A and B are shown apart, each in its own frame.
Chain A
Amino acid sequence: MRLELRGITKTFGSVAANSAIDLTVEPGEIHCLLGENGAGKSTLMNILYGLLSPDSGEIVVDGEVREFTSPGDAIRAGIGMVHQHFMLVPVFTVAENLVLGHEESRGGVLGWLDRRKARQDVVEVSARYGLPVDPDALVEDLPVGVQQRVEIIKALMRDAQVLILDEPTAVLTPQETEELFTVMRGLKAAGKSVVFITHKLREVRAVADRITVIRRGKVVGQADPKTGVRELASLMVGRDVRLVVEKEPREPGAVALSVRGLSVRDDRGQLAVDDVSFDLHAGEVLGIAGVQGNGQTELVEAITGLRPAQGSAELSGRQLIGASPRTVLRMGVGHIPEDRQHDGLVPDFSIAENLALDEADRAPFGNMLMLDLDAIAKNGADRLAEFDIRAESAQTPAAALSGGNQQKVVVARALQRDPALLVASQPTRGVDVGAMEFIHKRIIEQRDAGKPVLIVSTELDEITALSDRIAVMYRGKIVDIVPSDTSNEELGLLMAGGGAEDAAADEAAPVSDAVPVSDAVPSAAEPTETAETAEPAAAEPADTVPAPRAAESPVAEAEAEPVRDATPEEAPAEESSETADE
């Protein structure tokens, strides 16, 4: 199916999200859409999928002009889509979510559901594509990575001719990303096409046949998939991006945060953090590495007062455990929560209000009785400029922001108060390379100002680039704390529980679908650079990649520029980071 978008224009208020965009998707190609946060990628795709109606422009399918007034029309025309923000019913099972909309029923008019067949179909499709899911699990109980998998299966099950993937890899493990790529190549081979949106430039280079770059609602050009990451980055953002995290070695100061014997239970009452102790010094960044679901989330929630815990965590002598989140905030803890949509924002509040939310009852935003609306508005406008949040104004509701811009609001709020302790979970999830550069810079500034910083990230490269020391968590325990120049191989081993056999026996099992240990380890077979060691990409480890990637290795070899200095996401040290995520 040949798909053509002609002159698509869409404005929200005074924001031109799309202005006269032309885009052609040929059958059998993987077409990457690149663009900074708020460039209009999701808007364009939502128009194509019938969720939004364009102000002008037309959609042409195989030479025929079509009008999609609802996703149903687009689905019937053979278009499938995975949305940036999950479109799953949380209280439904996986199988129910997957059959919704095209339920096969045997009861004729009655529409009796055939649950057994639905379950079988799910098992069959997920096995076929190598994306395992439990059909009977409730979606709300699943970690985000698995929810993402469900979304992908949902789109695949409909046999779409054109599949739109809007940032599907933001929360996937490297293995899952790799499997998704295999699926995408399979679709391509079958003559179907894929529109793929991501901010991880190395992924673009791995799968793209064609790249279209969008900036501020306009197509600014096409790029060759062989283009280097640097070039892609500057094409996207419109300026040179420093992909390196500049960080001078620093002598850490005194112990600022002291955690002793901390144990935390998860929602199901299981021990998620098991007797953890560590020190975080002033002027130090401590990174918490580990496969998702090994207790990082609960550790952060305990320290920020969001979850009851046993043990102690003292910030400059004051106890954080048992304190209310409000008290913790008053002690100067800044928190970037891992799920911005769930914990970070009130969607109907404006950006300015969201930014003032945590200190609305104290200067400068107000007092116990009244809000100072002018101060809130001014702060909003200032942060908007400072963090380059793309919005009409600071009065725009948070819900109207693009995903990456929502993330910037959450980050800005945590940083604006110059926190005595910064706790950042997935600080750069979904932001573009430019914003990532900025956020990383601010985090390092925080450290250089002598503040303690705790970072949790599933991107191992982000951890190694920012941290002074790295604590590796496995099954609720910190198996080791290592210097930041530790090799990814070693980190991979630690994350798989190496050196912590005793911990492995613990009943506090992490999420069932954690990456199999055997997968995590070999892919770490990379030399030991941290992201800032500028060095040619000689070690492009094509041999460590699963089969499909091998085909891409010529491209990788053609890449001679010093990409080794890239920031985590797009560093060609792709395999190394793969150890890290999930």
Chain B
Amino acid sequence: MAVATIATPAVLAAPETDVRRRSAGLTQIVLGVVALFAFGLGSRTAHGASTTFGLTLISKQGTKVPDWVFPARPVIVALALVCVLIGAARLAVQLPRGWRLAGTSVVLFCFTFAFMAWSAADPKGGERLIIPSLLNSMVVAAVPLVLGALGGVVGERSGVVNVAIEGQLLFGGFMTALVGSTTHNLFIGVIAGTLAGALMGLLLAVLAIRYLIEQVVLGVVLNLLALGVTGFLYKSLMQTNQSSYNSVSQFDSFRIPGLASIWVVGPVLFDQPLIIYVTVFLVVLVHLGLFRTRWGLRTRAVGEHPAAADTVGVKVLRLRYRNVMLGGAFAGLGGAWLVGNVGNFTEAMTNGKGFIALAAVIFGRWSPFGALAAAGLFGFTAALADQTSSLQLPIPSDLLSTLPYVATLFAVAGLIGRVRAPAADGKPYIKG
């Protein structure tokens, strides 16, 4: 019957379809060719230009590492050729999955490196790209994405789609600023922000689970609500009285002795505010929770087949409420980070980060570590756009700052291939 075409076609299980192989191989070759002509043979790298990568993070204490200088053109051309070769190999032969993944990663690395080398190339040798600052701003950008995505993961794993991450970040940030300022205590502010996120989560849960409102639409509406409410309060309360309602201290760095002295990456990873460590800890915790504990087993069961979970005595709705609130709390913490990082709240300061976090949920295949990796990647592209904006690139910086979004599109559309959301994701559970 016609319906039967809905059944999973057997082809999906096959090694790799020709179409997919060809498009992957061609994309890689195209990346190589772009790298070759735009970066390697372009005017920026002419006249024996050399690239300078700074390796010392100026803002933090630590040993000074000398700059890394290398001739731009030969290196970029070599990287570009690697991309082309890998793409050609992909086109020519059926590669096992592991090789395909490795190939894709190498191509992405080479292309990115070629771009960085190109952007810092200068015949006079004056321009430089400071790698540790790049990494640092990547970490800073990634934290709210990771926390937001983590919130998405716990909600969606139990079957509730959370499009309201953006709103939860925003509201969390707002409350952090408000409470942190009035109590003159950033820590209390962070707690308040986290609770505010959980409160948003509760609102989402009640409307989605109890009143069965379509979850994507609901999420969008909640985002608009958060934007409106915080915008209004910001204008009417904070803007006129910044010092008493919108000024918190910034997070202090917490230096881990020993580790923080590691070459180049030490100061970036181990001399950071506490929340960053907490974030990584939460990722590990949620991962273990999801896959090793009773809570996780039940959460995943409820997200995949709520009726089955119900028939073995799992309280489906209660678990969903809890998880969505927990997810909101994570996102609220992410919002707190945004505020504590700069010391105050600004209107609509999340600027789409919640949506990028949502993409990280999918890109990371609904797993905490996947979300961490995806958020790291998005954070990196954002950082790259940010750090190269001072280098006078021929690409307008506005365009460059769309990089994370383009990366998101590619990631969600192509690179990850077939992903399977939790089967009951977004579907309310209604008992007869």
Q: How many residues of B contact A (CB 8 A)?
A: 37
The residue that B313 contacts in the complex, of A75, A267, A325, A334, with Cβ under 8 A, is A75
| A81 interface hit (Cβ, 8 Å) | yes
A99 and B297 form a contact (CB under 8 A): yes
Q: Kindly state the separation between the CA atoms of A83 and B432 in the bound complex, as whole angstroms.
A: 15
The contact of A49 among B311, B315, B420, by CB within 8 Å, is: B311
Instruction: Tell yes or no: B399 within 8 A of A by CB.
Output: no
State whether A337 and B304 are in contact (beta carbons under 8 Å apart), knowing that A101-B309, A113-B297, A308-B11 are contacts in the complex.
no
Please pick, from A101, A103, A329, the residue contacting B1 in the complex, using a CB distance under 8 A.
A329
A181 located at the interface, meaning its Cβ lies under 8 Å from any Cβ of chain B in the complex: no
1-35 of chain B: CB within 8 A of chain A:
1-7, 9-11, 13-15
Q: Is the CB of A511 closer than 8 A to any CB of chain B? A: no
Q: Is B292 an interface residue (CB 8 A)?
A: yes
- The answer, among A46, A96, A342, for a CB contact under 8 Å with B432, is A46
Is A111 in contact with chain B by the CB < 8 A criterion?
yes
| Contacting residues, chain A, for B11 (C-beta < 8 A) | 308
> Shortest CB–CB separation between residue A107 and chain B, in angstroms?
7
With both beta carbons as reference points, the residue of chain A lying nearest to B295 in the complex is identified as A111
Complex Cα distance A90/B423, Å?
9
Question: Is B431 close to A, CB under 8 A?
Answer: yes
CB contact under 8 A between A96 and B13, given known A113-B292, A326-B2: no
CB distance from B400 to the nearest CB of A (A): 40
User: Is A111 within 8 A of B293, CB to CB?
Assistant: yes
- Which of these, A105, A269, A306, contacts B294 with CB under 8 Å? A105
Q: How far is the CA of A107 from the CA of B11 in the complex (A)?
A: 43
Give the interface centre of B3, B9, B11 by most chain A CB atoms within 10 Å: B3
Q: How far is the CB of B155 from chain A (nearest CB, A)?
A: 18
> B7, A343: Cβ atoms under 8 Å?
yes
B308 in contact (CB, < 8 A): yes
Given contacts A46-B432, A70-B315, A89-B301, contact A358 B1 (CB under 8 A): yes
Contacts of A75 in B (CB 8 A): 312-313
Query: Does residue B298 face the partner (Cβ distance < 8 Å to A)?
Result: yes
Q: How many residues of A contact B (CB 8 A)?
A: 63
Beta-carbon contact of A72 and B315 below 8 Å: yes
Contact status A358-B293, CB under 8 Å: no
Whether B3 and A345, one on each chain, are in contact in the complex, defined by CB atoms closer than 8 angstroms, is yes
Chain A hits for B298, CB < 8 A: 100-101, 103
Q: Mark A236-277, 1 if CB is under 8 A from B, else 0.
A: 000000000000000000000000000001111100000000
Report if A357 contacts B (CB, 8 A).
yes
List the A side residues contacting B7 at CB < 8 Å.
Answer: 306, 337, 342-343
Task: Check: B310 CB closer than 8 A to any chain A CB.
Answer: yes
Q: Are A107 and B3 in contact (CB under 8 A)?
A: no
The reply to whether A87 and B305 form a contact with Cβ atoms under 8 Å apart is yes
The reply to whether A112 and B304 contact each other, CB–CB distance below 8 Å, is no
Task: State whether the Cβ of B307 lies closer than 8 Å to any Cβ in chain A.
Answer: yes
Residues 373-386 of chain B, each 1 if its beta carbon lies under 8 Å from chain A, else 0: 00000000000000
Contact of B4 among A90, A103, A112, A337 (CB under 8 A): A337
Chain A residue with the shortest CB-CB distance to B12:
A267
Residue of A nearest to B14 (CB): A269
Is B300 in the interface zone, CB < 8 Å from A?
A: yes
CA distance A54 to B295 in the complex (A): 31
Instruction: State the Cβ distance, A181 to closest chain B Cβ, in Å.
Output: 24
Contact B5 A107 (CB under 8 A): no
Residue B314 interfacial (CB < 8 Å)? yes
List chain A residues, Cβ under 8 A from B3. Answer: 343-346, 354, 357-358
Q: How many Å from the CB of A330 to the closest CB on chain B?
A: 10
A335 within 8 A of B: yes
Task: Kindly state the separation between the CA atoms of A311 and B296 in the bound complex, as whole angstroms.
Answer: 47
Chain A: CB-nearest residue to B291: A113
Contact assessment for A87 and B308 in the assembled complex, using a CB-CB cutoff below 8 Å: yes
B313 near A51 with CB under 8 A, answer: no
**Quick one: which of B1, B14, B15, B423 contacts A337, CB cutoff 8 A?**
B1
A265 in contact with B10 (CB, 8 Å): yes
Q: Which residues from chain B contact A70 at a C-beta distance below 8 Å?
A: 310, 313, 315
Decide: A343 and B4 in contact? CB cutoff 8 A: yes
Question: How many Å lie between the Cα of A413 and that of B311 in the bound state?
Answer: 32
Is A387 engaged at the interface, CB distance under 8 Å to the other chain? no
Q: Is A102 an interface residue (CB 8 A)?
A: yes
Cα(A379)–Cα(B315), bound, Å: 42
B294 touches A413 (CB 8 A): no
B423 engages A308 (CB within 8 Å): no
How far is A97 from B297 in the complex, measured between Cα atoms in Å? 9
With CB as the reference atom, state the residue of chain A lying closest to B317: A70
In the complex, what's the smallest C-beta–C-beta distance from A474 to chain B, in angstroms? 22
Question: Digit string of A94-127 for contact with B (CB within 8 Å is 1, else 0)?
Answer: 0011011111010100111100000000000000
CA of A101 to CA of B299 in the docked complex: distance in angstroms? 11
Indicate the member of B5, B7, B11, B313 with the most A CB atoms within 10 Å: B313
* Nearest-CB residue, chain A, relative to B312: A101
Residues of A within 8 A of B293 (CB): 105, 107, 110-113
Question: By the criterion CB–CB under 8 Å, are B314 and A100 in contact?
Answer: yes
**CB-based contact A413/B1 at 8 Å:** yes
Contacts of A265 in B (CB 8 A): 10
The reply to whether the CB of A91 lies closer than 8 angstroms to some CB of chain B is yes
Tell me the smallest distance from the CB of A98 to a CB of chain B, in Å. 9
Q: Report B280-302 residues with CB < 8 Å from chain A CB.
A: 292-298, 300-301
A-B contact pairs, 28 of them (CB 8 A): A51-B432, A75-B312, A75-B313, A87-B311, A89-B300, A90-B304, A97-B308, A99-B297, A101-B309, A102-B313, A103-B297, A111-B293, A112-B292, A113-B296, A266-B10, A267-B13, A269-B13, A269-B15, A301-B10, A325-B4, A329-B1, A334-B1, A337-B1, A344-B1, A344-B3, A344-B4, A345-B3, A358-B2
- A90-B305, A91-B304, A92-B304 known, 18 other contacts, Cβ within 8 Å: A72-B314, A72-B315, A75-B312, A87-B305, A88-B308, A89-B305, A90-B304, A100-B297, A100-B314, A101-B313, A105-B294, A307-B9, A308-B10, A325-B4, A329-B1, A337-B4, A343-B1, A360-B2
